[in-house]
């Protein structure tokens, strides 16, 4: 099965002034497309794998892939999955999820405490990676970062919010100022 780049659903300039149109276009049409293409190249070798990429990621260790293809799927399938959620989180048409906000307040003490914890995870991720709000295997909310394109699905966790902290996500506008980019992301996300 061949997967397509998920539709963005909004214009490249829709997130300005926080994320510029040029970064959005390059990030979406080049980086995310690249992960999509490379993931498809792995899956083409295994036509018996017909489940969605997220389902395959959950059971990556038990899939009948070579070790090289497992690594390629982990990296590129993770890039495909993580970016799809990232674009959804940024959608300016989103509305606040009252149930999620209440659960965040109950779990982290307040929305501000959650934002501080999430920001810290994003800002302190060494090198490239992601910050996530997830629902862990016990059904509880948790915040952490992952390296590279690793998905929380590998841990049996369901990602809810995803923040790309690879430099390609912010370098044109923010250069080496990752904290400013993290702050901008939290201003854009309307779900919380």
Pull the structure tokens for residue 155. Answer: 């841990």
Q: How far apart are CA 23 and CA 170, in angstroms?
A: 7
pLDDT in tens, 113-145: 999 999 999 999 999 999 999 999 999 999 999
Residue holding tokens 């899939």? 63
129 located within any domain: yes
Q: Does 65 lie in the same domain as 128? A: no
Do 64 and 105 fall into the same domain?
A: no
Q: For residue 67, what are the domain limits?
A: 19-90
- Distance from the Cα of residue 62 to its chain's centroid: 23
Report the pLDDT value the prediction gives residue 11, as an integer from 0 to 100.
Answer: 98
Return mean pLDDT, the chain: 97
Domain shared by 102 and 82, yes or no = no
Arithmetic mean of pLDDT, 33-56 = 97
Number of domains in the chain: 2
Question: Is 13 within a domain?
Answer: no
Tokens coding 162: 């995803």
Q: Both 154 and 74 in a single domain?
A: no
pTM: 0.96
Same domain (yes/no): 81, 114: no
What are the φ and ψ backbone dihedral angles of 19, each rounded to 5 degrees?
-130, 125
- Peptide bond preceding 17: is omega within 30 degrees of 0, i.e. cis? yes
Give domain status of residue 139, yes or no: yes
Residue 1 has pLDDT above 80, yes or no: no
- Residues 84 and 149 both lie in one domain: no
**81 and 161 part of one domain:** no
Residue 92 has pLDDT above 90, yes or no: yes
Evaluate whether residue 3 is within a structural domain: no
Backbone angles phi, psi at 145, to 5 degrees: -115, 160
Longest distance between any two alpha carbons in the chain, whole Å? 47
Q: Which of 39, 71, 90 is the last residue of a domain?
A: 90
Q: Which residue, of 68, 90, 112, is where some domain finishes? A: 90
One-letter-per-residue 3-state SS of the chain: CCCCCCCCCCCHHHHCCCCCHHHHHHHHHHHHHHHHHHHHHHHHCCCCCCCCHHHHHHCHHHCCCCHHHHHHHHHHHHHHHHHHHHHHHHCCCCCCCHHHHHHHHHHHCCHHHHHHHHHHHHHHCCCCEEEEEEECCCCCEEEEEEECCCCHHHHCCEEEEEEECCHHHCHHHHCCCHHHHHHHHHHHCCCC
Together in a domain, 109 and 65? no
Cα–Cα dist 70/91, whole Å? 31
178 in any annotated domain: yes
Q: Which of 37, 72, 90 is the last residue of a domain?
A: 90
Does 8 fall in a domain? no
């Amino acid at each position: 099965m061949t997967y397509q780049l998920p539709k963005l659903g909004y214009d490249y300039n829709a997130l300005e002034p926080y994320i510029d149109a040029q970064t959005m276009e390059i990030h979406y049409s080049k980086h995310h497309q690249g992960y999509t293409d490379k993931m498809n190249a792995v899956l083409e070798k295994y036509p018996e794998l017909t489940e969605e990429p997220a389902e395959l990621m959950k059971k990556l260790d038990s899939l009948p892939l070579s070790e090289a293809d497992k690594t390629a799927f982990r990296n590129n399938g993770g890039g495909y999955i993580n970016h799809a959620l990232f674009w959804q989180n940024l959608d300016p048409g989103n509305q606040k999820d009252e149930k999620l906000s209440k659960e965040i307040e109950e779990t982290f003490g307040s929305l501000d405490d959650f934002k501080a914890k999430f920001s810290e995870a994003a800002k302190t991720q060494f090198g490239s990676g992601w910050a996530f709000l997830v629902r862990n295997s016990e059904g509880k909310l948790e915040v952490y970062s992952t390296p590279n394109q690793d998905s929380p699905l590998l841990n049996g966790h369901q990602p809810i919010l995803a923040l790309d902290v690879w430099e390609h996500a912010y370098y044109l506008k923010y250069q080496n100022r990752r904290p400013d980019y993290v702050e901008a992301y939290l201003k854009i996300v309307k779900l919380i």
